[in-house]
């Protein structure tokens, strides 16, 4: 029978393998979500740009047109870049994630490419969705400015707190996630101590 120390060593090794596997699967799902969300929102941005009633633009103050143009361009660019990064990494991660064998997880490039995945995720989810809400603000102003400025102001009063709520959620969520990771590590350490003590 293995000695208690060897048992702990084995357990720690198995836990590490599991954690590596979990990171691989998480990265795989993140990359798939980036592809889906970014192509959807980039598509909406393109449609909003193309379906613009060009002939009526002269009625609007230039600041509004400039804001709309830069926001739409940024929205499409951000999602295109996120899509590109996701598309480049996905085949290399997915090829190992589909094998359903934990031992191969270490050979996947998802840890060395973690920085790239994080950038794509931030571009697509955090910046991209935030820009989408700002884009909505510009569309509201362009649609209702002439006929009912009150409607524009009410839409603004709904959107501004929403964007703040959005930023708040993103901050809270990542703080919670970090805490969850730390607590899981502490739990693991406690577990090790208990095993070591027995």
Contacting a second copy within 45-84 (CB under 8 A):
46-58, 60, 62, 65-66, 68-70, 73-74, 76-77, 80-81, 83-84
* Residues 128 to 187 in contact with a second copy, rule: CB under 8 A: 129, 132-133, 136, 139-140, 143-144, 146-148, 150-152, 154-155, 158-159, 162, 165-166, 169-170, 173, 176-177, 180, 184
For 60, the 3-state DSSP assignment is coil
State the Cα–Cα distance between residues 198 and 91, nearest whole angstrom: 45
The number of angstroms, rounded, from the C-alpha of 192 to the middle of its chain's C-alpha atoms is 34
Compute the least distance from the CB of residue 196 to a second copy, in Å: 21
What residue has token string 């085949």?
A: 91
Phi, psi torsion values for 77, nearest 5 degrees: -65, -45
Compute the least distance from the CB of residue 5 to a second copy, in Å: 22
Which residues, including other chains, have CB under 8 Å from residue 90's CB and lie 6 or more apart? 28, 31, 32, 35
How far CA 97 is from CA of 36, 59, 105, 109, in Å, comes to: 19, 54, 7, 11
Binding mask 112-131 for a second copy (x = CB under 8 A): xx--x--------x---x--
Compute the least distance from the CB of residue 193 to a second copy, in Å: 19
- Going by the DSSP 8-state scheme, the letter that residue 113 receives in this structure is T
Tell me the CA end-to-end span of the chain in Å, nearest whole number.
15
Compute the least distance from the CB of residue 155 to a second copy, in Å: 4
State the Cα–Cα distance between residues 70 and 137, nearest whole angstrom: 13
92, 122, 127, 195: which one binds a second copy (CB under 8 A): 92
Binding mask 4-23 for a second copy (x = CB under 8 A): --------------x--xxx
95, 118, 182, 185: which one binds a second copy (CB under 8 A): 95
6, 14, 16, 99: which one binds a second copy (CB under 8 A): 99
Q: Which is nearer to a second copy, 7 or 35 (CB)?
A: 35
Among 50, 46, 61, 49, which Cα is nearest to 152's?
61
* Cβ atoms 163, 134 nearer than 8 A: yes
Interaction of residue 85 with a second copy, rule CB under 8 A: yes
Q: Which among 2-10, 98-106, 189-197 is the span making contact with a second copy, rule CB under 8 A?
A: 98-106
């Amino acid at each position: 029978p293995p000695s208690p120390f060897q048992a702990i060593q084995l357990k720690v090794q198995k836990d590490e393998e599991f954690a590596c596997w979990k990171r691989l699967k998480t990265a795989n799902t993140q990359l798939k979500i980036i592809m889906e969300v970014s192509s959807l929102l980039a598509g909406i941005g393109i449609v909003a740009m193309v379906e613009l009633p060009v002939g009526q633009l002269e009625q609007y103050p230039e600041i509004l047109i400039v804001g709309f143009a830069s926001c739409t361009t940024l929205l499409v660019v951000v999602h295109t870049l996120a899509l590109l990064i996701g598309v480049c990494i996905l085949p290399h991660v997915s090829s190992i994630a589909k094998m359903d064998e934990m031992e191969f997880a270490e050979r996947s490039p998802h840890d060395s490419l973690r920085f790239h995945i994080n950038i794509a995720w931030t571009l697509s989810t955090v910046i991209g969705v935030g820009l989408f809400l700002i884009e909505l603000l510009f569309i509201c102003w362009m649609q209702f400015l002439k006929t009912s400025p009150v409607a524009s102001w009410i839409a603004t009063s709904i959107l501004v707190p929403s964007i703040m709520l959005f930023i708040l959620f993103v901050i809270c969520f990542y703080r919670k996630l970090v805490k969850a990771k730390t607590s899981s590590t502490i739990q693991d350490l406690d577990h090790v101590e208990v095993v070591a003590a027995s």
